[in-house]
Amino acid sequence: MQLRDKIKTEKPLVLNLANSVTPQRVADVVSMLGGSPLVTETSHETDELLAISKALVINIGTITDEQLSTMIKAGIRANELHIPVILDPVAVHMPYRSRCVQQLAESVHFDYIRGNSAEIAWFANEESQATGIDALDDDINVATVKNAAQTTGAIIVQSGPVDVISDGTQTVSIDYNNPALATNVGAGDMLSAVVATFASVADDPFEAAYVAALNMKLAGQNTTALVGDDRPGSYMPAFFDAIYRLQDTDIAEGVMTWH
């Protein structure tokens, strides 16, 4: 069974420890794929929720000390249950966030780390010229992504105009630039949730990562073809329609470049 069909059949519950900016979009994209989204910020029920979940997303976009404790607890439990854990390290190169991720990494194994080029460079112990949550458009250093994967033991999904995905041995890039998608805040958060949804049903963790990226990129292309690049306010509703309509047969692995 193909992964899209498998998601629709199994309806995996994807637990998101989300930031407070984009929870609706994150939940919507999981639902459009056929998964069952759940978003929480509290520690009181994480054990119970993880017992029925198939993947966990940890997003540090609006992290607090209290949320950090919840994330550590949830990550440890997810590791015990062998549930894939996806880290979205928003602006990790900022000092407080760096400390938070370092504390997380001391206790939690991340199966996937999804970030922009500046965030991924941090995991490779390299500097980036980018600041904030946005990265330079031309910063797609394949060696950096591979280094980050080898350093962390995670599958790295670097998103941008060109997505680069590596497990430290296998590395692919996907060149589907969608400027209008990038204009909408939360596209990266959504990709993290999409990776989690595919990881929840895939036998091959690396395949889950690149198929997730292909789904986002192709849906973005289809949306741009429909609404254009100059209607960003109309873009996201059309994007949800586009990713909902995609089928496994639409996903062409031939557009990827292997490195």
Count of Cβ atoms closer than 10 Å to residue 54 Cβ:
22
Residue 192 assigned as binding residue: no
Amino acid making up residue 184: N
Extract the tokens encoding 165.
């995905």
Count of Cβ atoms closer than 10 Å to residue 71 Cβ:
26
Count of Cβ atoms closer than 10 Å to residue 150 Cβ:
15
Residue 35 assigned as binding residue: no
How many Å apart are CA 220 and CA 176, to the nearest integer? 8
How many Å apart are CA 36 and CA 53, to the nearest integer? 9
Instruction: Tell me which residue of 204, 225, 192, 208 sits closest to 25, measured CA to CA.
Output: 192
Residue 114 assigned as binding residue: yes
Annotated binding-site residue numbers for substrate: 186
Annotated binding-site residue numbers: 114, 159, 186
Annotated binding-site residue numbers for ATP: 114, 159
